Amino acid sequence: MEPSPDFVSRVIAGGSEGVVDRSRRDFLRAAAALLVGLNLPKSSLAGGGQHGAGGSGQRAVIVIFGGVRHSETFSPEGLENIPHLSRDLLPQSLFYPNARNEGVTAHFNAISSILTGNWQRVDDWGKIAPTTPTLFEHFRKRLGAAQSDTWVVASNKALTSLIGASSASNYGPVYGANVVFPKQLMVAAVANALRAGRSRNMADRAKIESELENMLEAGNYEGLGWTVFDAADRLDPRVRGIIEEAITTFVRDGGPTSGDELTFLVSREVMRKFSPRLLVVIFSDVEVAHFGSYALHVGGIRTGDRLAYQLWQEIEANAEYKGKTTMVVLPEFGRDPDGSTTNGFFNHRGDTDSTRSTWMMALGAAVSKPQIVERPIRHVDLCATLADLLGCPPMESQGSRLTEIRV
Amino acid sequence: MSTQVQEKLPEPLQDALNKGLLKRLPITFLPFTRQQLRDWGYLFPYERRSILHLLLYLASLNDEQLASLFREVIQLEEKMGVRGWQFSTDEQTIQNASLLARSPYYQDWRKAVQKVFDAADQHAEKEKPRGAESNRLILLAMPQRLPLDRSKVWQGWHGVGRPLRLDLALPTSSGETQSPAEALLSGGDGGRLLEVISRRSNASPADAWIVDAGTGLVDCALQQEPSAAGAPTATLLSHERLATFRQNFSREVNTMRKDLADADAVFDHLRKADVTPWCPAEVASAPVIREFLRTLYLSGNGALIYGNSFVEWSSSEAFRRARPSFLMAQFGVRSKPKPFTSVAVFENPDEVNPLPAVDDLPGSALDAQELALYVWLAASRYDEYRRNTVCLCMAENLSEAYVVAPPEFALWRETEPVPLNRLRAALIHWLADEHPADS
């Protein structure tokens, strides 16, 4: 007998009795039941399909969280932390419950592996560029896409602008993405105010706004580590405008004020102003786990859940994106299991399923039918898949194309 | 370290070193071994015994046996190309850790190294005298202020023990300001926990630890300590009393740029800095504890930032390095992240942002709930805590504890609320029974 939709929605919401005792397999089976027979409305399919010059006309937004475990997200007990992903987005998504990071489970290597389709083993602190071409370079070189078409907006402090382009010969920064670290703006503003004896300003919203904007001045900007339109020494005036807009919203709206919030606001402004065809947004509030606050880690998951949903809403509301965009959400890796010698959720160094096995969700134009694909996939599979989606010729990649994601 | 304790190595170990033991070890074993030998004066008795067993075992092997034991490690070192790295053979560095971790053979190397340690452990186990083992006690306190949720608080323990109802009404003599945990420690008619542990034949400060996010427990213990001339009976760590140490240490850490070489330079500087002036008296007078803290803070895990992380990580490290018979830990309350400036989490939030700190009670309760479990999980990794150990975790706002214990623990089957005096008496009785295991 097919479970009733009401039953399934209770499972997704984690609200029915007995759900907490279900195994992960039962959980997935129940979630899969929701998707059986569902086909998406035409308007959300690839109908946009503007195969214009320089590619397929498709767009891709990749949303990467830091390290989150299944147990705090897609598990019966974790669902309460991801209400938007599990209730609003899962029913219309292609969901891979076992997306594995088989490389180095440190931030720079994990993200650059996703973005190159090859397991990277470079310096953990972003001092060395990925050694094989990124999707940005491939996209720009092969299709002649402009730099304004490729952006990375990231919170993670372990990244540098080298995440935007590789050291591969015949590629490199000339084909790289714009890279912006909004959180670094905040960190630098705090440090600057402290150095200048203006720490009182940090308690005054109006003064915070001016401290943040001061960081965009030529002399300060250089220290932010951004690369925007090839200019490392000054900020392009078009970009300055969108950052100022994001700062104003961040400071004056009275909403939450974490690094990921500012990253979201800048990403949204980038979408509105430049409509990049390939946008990567990297959230990292969850990484407060390194300091041992489980509550703040879970809070970071909830923030990421909400912001990923808001990005999806922006895609749906923005004419440049609606109907021709595929959004992919995935964590960089999991975290270490409770009781491990590496101190459990604090870290992500273990060679365990808890650390290596994550999930991936795809939504939008390239998802013709929602489904749960239980086959394990690898993080390096995403790059080849998106290259194909964007209309690029195949990339040299250790990954395999995910055949379910297609237009 | 600027105030290095010069202590002679045991003679058999020194002999083995004189005969060239270190030259027979794989490259990746050298940083750990050399650092342990150099820091001998700062090792706990348990660590000294471990390193002594390991190195004497290795020294006892002939060339063929040693080659066989290390074959896998050496093969992996060759595959990884360790000789071509900028790999310190003198001490463990962040650079070393980073080089190893990004090698495709890293996980295989870890497993191969583990096999060597397992072989040494098996050898040590065979040689271990079959004596009695003393009872152990892990006592955890989540204070009254933390609003723990009865329906979830023990979920993570997965039924390994059972809840025990408590009557936490304080005896009138304890004074109004004492928490139930402090009252347990400070003693009543039946004696004091620290006195019982200090009467043991092998008593040492490394065998009894008090770890506190605040100051209450440590203040209680300090009042019980013998006069300044007497040897301390316990290791006392208070996150709050260590504020000066943390602030100075954080300031140095915050000068670090995002660069491995720079990180190692800062760490090297911090390894050598004289931290004694930053320490409260109970730490300044105990070089081993001072160095324990230095290493603890260098290893991260939030110990410099949050009191509850400090409690969890220092307890975990105490189990790993010292295997104490008694550890009592009390969690506390952290502040909410301040608007805007919370991204600069390394900084002292009160220095960065003049807005008043606001307690995060629900968040602190969830942190404490998770981290108390982690303390137990850390202990339960070791054989020493798998038998005659009682772990009792108190949720003071719920007047309840969770108990993991062998059936012979007096309160194991108790169904009625247990008053504090009776709880203390049961714990004292448990600790006083020094040799039950083989009786």
User: Is B385 within 8 Å of B134 (Cβ atoms)?
Assistant: no
Q: How many CB pairs under 8 A join A and B?
A: 135
Count: domains in chain B: 2
Q: What is the residue range of B143's domain?
A: 136-432
- Is B343's CB within 8 Å of A122's CB? no
- Is A125's CB within 8 Å of B312's CB? no
Query: For B301, which of A124, A296, A343 is closest by C-beta distance?
Result: A343
- Mutation for testing the A interface, residue in B96, B99, B102, B371 having most A CBs under 10 Å: B102
pLDDT band at B158 (very low <50, low <70, confident <90, very high): very high
Same domain, yes or no: B121 and B158: no
- What is the predicted pLDDT for the residue at B85? 92
- Mutation for testing the A interface, residue in B106, B254, B341 having most A CBs under 10 Å: B341
Structural domain ending residue among the three candidates B127, B150, B169: B127
DSSP B281-340: HHHHT-HHHHHHHHHHHHT-TTTTT-HHHHHHHHHHHHHHHH--SEEEEE----BPPPTT
**Chain A residues close to B364, C-beta within 8 Å:** 295
CA distance B209 to chain A (A): 20
pLDDT band at B256 (very low <50, low <70, confident <90, very high): low
The chain A residue lying nearest B303, using CA atoms, is A291
**Residue B270: inside a domain, yes or no?**
yes
- Is B354's CB within 8 Å of A202's CB? yes
User: Is A315 within 8 Å of A327 (Cβ atoms)?
Assistant: yes
**Residue B182: inside a domain, yes or no?**
yes
**Chain B residues close to A76, C-beta within 8 Å:** none
Query: For B370, which of A187, A294, A341 is closest by C-beta distance?
Result: A294
- Is A208's CB within 8 Å of B340's CB? yes
- What is the predicted pLDDT for the residue at B189? 66
More confident site: B229 or A63: A63
pLDDT tens digit sequence for B187-238 = 776 678 999 998 888 889 999 999 999 999 999 999 887 655 566 789 999 9
Query: For A258, which of B305, B312, B343 is closest by C-beta distance?
Result: B343
Same domain, yes or no: B102 and B180: no
**Chain A residues close to B107, C-beta within 8 Å:** 351
Whether A25 has a pLDDT exceeding 50, the answer reads yes
Query: For B352, which of A199, A343, A351 is closest by C-beta distance?
Result: A199
Closest CA to B239 of B314, B321, B318: B314
Structural domain ending residue among the three candidates B127, B150, B170: B127
* In chain A, domain spans: 38-181+225-389
- Is A123's CB within 8 Å of B362's CB? no
Q: Could you report the predicted ipTM of this complex, rounded to two decimals?
A: 0.92
Same domain, yes or no: B175 and B31: no
pLDDT tens digit sequence for A107-122 = 999 999 999 999 999 9
- What is the predicted pLDDT for the residue at A198? 79
- Is A259's CB within 8 Å of B343's CB? yes
Same domain, yes or no: B317 and B385: yes
Same domain, yes or no: B301 and B200: yes
B419 sits in which H/E element? strand B418-419
pLDDT band at B416 (very low <50, low <70, confident <90, very high): very high
- Is A346's CB within 8 Å of B302's CB? yes
**Chain B residues close to A288, C-beta within 8 Å:** 345
Same domain, yes or no: B269 and B305: yes
- Is A190's CB within 8 Å of B341's CB? yes
- Is A339's CB within 8 Å of B377's CB? yes
**Residue B437: inside a domain, yes or no?**
no
- Is B381's CB within 8 Å of A298's CB? no
- What is the predicted pLDDT for the residue at A185? 84
d(CA A3, CA A1): 6
Closest CA to A405 of A233, B119, A396, A383: A383
- Is A293's CB within 8 Å of B334's CB? yes
Q: Which residues is B166 bridged to in the sheet?
A: B418
**Chain A residues close to B308, C-beta within 8 Å:** 292-293
Whether A302 has a pLDDT exceeding 80, the answer reads yes
pLDDT band at B435 (very low <50, low <70, confident <90, very high): low
**In 10 A of CB A193, how many CB atoms?**
23
pLDDT tens digit sequence for A303-357 = 999 999 999 999 999 999 999 999 999 999 999 999 999 999 999 999 999 999 9
pLDDT band at A22 (very low <50, low <70, confident <90, very high): very low
State chain B's maximal CA–CA distance in angstroms: 70
Q: Which residues is B330 bridged to in the sheet?
A: B141, B212
Query: For B306, which of A127, A291, A351 is closest by C-beta distance?
Result: A291
A200-209, B25-34, B329-338, B408-417, range with the lowest pLDDT = A200-209
CA distance A258 to chain B (A): 7
In one-letter notation, the amino acid at residue B127 is E
User: What CATH number should be reported for the domain whose range is A38-181+225-389?
Assistant: 3.40.720.10
pLDDT tens digit sequence for A38-55 = 555 443 333 333 333 477
SS3 letters across chain A: CCCCHHHHHHHHHCCCCCHHHCCHHHHHHHHHHHHCCCCCCHHHCHHHCCCCCCCCCCEEEEEEEEECCHHHCCCCCCHHHCHHHHHHHHHHCEEEEEEECCCCCCHHHHHHHHHHCCCCCCCCCCCCCCCCCCHHHHHHHHHCCCHHHEEEEECCCCCCHHHHCCCCCCCCHHHCCEEECHHHHHHHHHHHHHHCCCHHHHHCHHHHHHHHHHCCCHHHHHHHCCEECCECCCCCHHHHHHHHHHHHHHHHCCCCCCHHHHHHHHHHHHHHHHCCCEEEEECCHHHHHHHCCHHHHHHHHHHHHHHHHHHHHHHHHCCCCCCCEEEEEEEEECCCCCCCCCCHHHCCCCCCHHHHEEEEEEEECCCCCCEECCCCEECCHHHHHHHHHCCCCCCCCCCCCCCCCCC
Question: What mean pLDDT value characterizes chain A?
Answer: 86
- Is B258's CB within 8 Å of A157's CB? yes
**Chain A residues close to B370, C-beta within 8 Å:** 294, 345
d(CA B78, CA A226): 39
**Chain B residues close to A127, C-beta within 8 Å:** 258-260
pLDDT tens digit sequence for B330-379 = 999 999 988 877 665 555 666 677 788 899 999 999 999 999 999 999 99
The chain B residue lying nearest A349, using CA atoms, is B101
Structural domain ending residue among the three candidates B127, B159, B194: B127
Whether B60 has a pLDDT exceeding 60, the answer reads yes
Same domain, yes or no: B112 and B194: no
**Residue B6: inside a domain, yes or no?**
no
More confident site: B333 or A7: B333
The chain A residue lying nearest B314, using CA atoms, is A343
Same domain, yes or no: B89 and B147: no
Same domain, yes or no: B249 and B286: yes
pLDDT band at A278 (very low <50, low <70, confident <90, very high): very high
**Residue B60: inside a domain, yes or no?**
yes
- What is the predicted pLDDT for the residue at A48? 35
**Chain B residues close to A203, C-beta within 8 Å:** 353-355
pLDDT band at A375 (very low <50, low <70, confident <90, very high): very high
